[in-house]
């Protein structure tokens, strides 16, 4: 743009200078040789000036056309960029919404089933013992509180499982695992599966995010029940190893090939035994365990079930 403006200015100055020079020549000719030669010179100067003016107009027209073309191209580029950004934003929003739905679904599906199971037992009239009824009501209350926290974390974006955003509290890991196993017992029995918890420890104190560890246990047990493919046993082994806790969730189901086992913690991964869901549960397990500063791995083989091994620091530096 600056170059075009400079060129127009130079051409305008040259044209004005040429017209002024022609005028001076015409005046000199009129003074020296009379009207006729001066008239011829004036005509020649007029033609020359008209040519220069025409050239200036033509150049200015081309300059304006070039500017308009550049403006149109700039607008087209801006529109294209805006459309691309809008498309990327919509795709990102859709992905975030899908992750939100998947996370909330995984958080609520099992507690809802547990609450429904206890409620059906209470309403059926089978439970005659008042103490047992109170125990079941307490479990319904606990799972309702869990659901409330799950919804709260999802909407407040605190479900990122970043170590700096975890809510640490003192807990008994053995009691937490046994409670999760008890909550899943009815669902397991319906599939001919037994859940057992084995540990040389009666209690194992640690600091962790209770809500997230509950999610981990529910997802692991639910995943085992979904993919075992036959009646059997799910064994949860808990050991203390120095300042860490070691957990192994092992089922004796159909198992997976090694090449598929290597990918089961990836988001949205679905192996050859896929029976539903979106491949989010074990990805959540990995993120939650690593968010606590722990490690997680998987071992499996066809016909030998699936084992998920985890380590967790008992007293992490928060």
Greater pLDDT, 307 or 88: 307
Which of these ranges, 6-10, 120-124, 236-240, has the smallest mean pLDDT? 6-10
Q: Which residues contact 100 (CB under 8 A, 6 or more apart)?
A: 154
Greater pLDDT, 290 or 109: 290
Residues in the chain, overall count? 318
Q: How confident is the model at residue 263 (pLDDT cuts 50, 70, 90)?
A: confident
User: For all residues of the chain together, what is the average pLDDT?
Assistant: 79
Q: How confident is the model at residue 93 (pLDDT cuts 50, 70, 90)?
A: low
Q: Looking at 125-209, list the stretches that DSSP marks H as alpha helix, in order from N- to C-terminal side.
A: 130-155, 173-183, 185-190
With a pLDDT cut of 90, the percent of the chain lying above it is 24
pLDDT at 72 (0 to 100): 85
Residue 135 pLDDT greater than 60, yes or no: yes
Greater pLDDT, 252 or 118: 252
pLDDT at 221 (0 to 100): 92
Angle between helices 210-227 and 130-155 (to 10 degrees): 100
* Mean pLDDT score, 234-254: 94
pLDDT at 158 (0 to 100): 47
pLDDT at 176 (0 to 100): 95
Q: Looking at the chain, list the stretches that DSSP marks H as alpha helix, in order from N- to C-terminal side.
A: 2-33, 35-124, 130-155, 173-183, 185-190, 210-227, 258-261, 281-291
What is the reported pTM?
0.59
**Extents of the domains making up the chain:** 2-84, 164-313
Chain segment 150-193, per-residue pLDDT in tens: 776 666 554 456 666 788 999 999 999 999 998 888 888 888 99
* Mean pLDDT score, 35-58: 66
**Exposed, middle or buried by CB within 10 Å (0-12, 13-18, 19+), for 256?**
buried
Architecture category of domain 164-313 in CATH: 2-Layer Sandwich (3.30)
């Amino acid at each position: 743009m600056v170059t075009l403006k400079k060129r127009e200015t130079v051409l305008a100055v040259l044209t004005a200078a040429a017209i002024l020079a022609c005028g001076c020549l015409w005046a000199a000719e009129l003074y020296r040789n009379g009207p006729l030669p001066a008239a011829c010179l004036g005509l020649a100067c007029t033609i020359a000036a008209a040519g220069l003016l025409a050239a200036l107009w033509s150049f200015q027209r081309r300059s304006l056309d070039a500017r308009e073309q550049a403006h149109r191209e700039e607008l087209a580029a801006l529109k294209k960029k805006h459309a691309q950004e809008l498309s990327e934003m919509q795709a990102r929003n859709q992905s975030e919404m899908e992750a939100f739905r998947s996370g909330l679904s995984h958080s609520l599906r099992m507690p809802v089933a547990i609450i429904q199971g206890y409620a059906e037992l209470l309403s059926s009239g089978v439970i005659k013992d008042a103490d047992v009824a109170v125990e079941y009501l307490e479990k319904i209350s606990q799972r309702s509180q869990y659901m409330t926290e799950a919804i709260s974390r999802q909407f407040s974006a605190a479900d990122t499982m970043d170590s700096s955003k975890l809510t640490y509290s003192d807990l008994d890991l053995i009691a937490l695992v046994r409670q999760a196993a008890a909550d899943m017992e009815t669902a397991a029995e319906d599939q001919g599966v037994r859940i057992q918890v084995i540990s040389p420890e009666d209690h194992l104190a640690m600091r962790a995010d209770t809500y997230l560890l509950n999610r981990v246990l529910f997802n692991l047990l639910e995943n085992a029940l979904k993919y075992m493919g036959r009646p059997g046993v799910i064994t949860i082994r808990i050991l203390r190893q120095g300042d860490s806790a070691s957990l192994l969730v092992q089922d004796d189901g159909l198992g997976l090939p090694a090449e598929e086992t290597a990918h089961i913690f990836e988001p949205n991964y679905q192996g050859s035994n896929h029976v539903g869901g979106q491949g989010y549960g074990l990805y959540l397990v990995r993120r939650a365990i690593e968010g606590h500063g722990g490690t997680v791995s998987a071992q499996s083989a066809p016909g030998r079930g699936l084992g998920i091994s985890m380590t967790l620091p008992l007293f992490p530096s928060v």
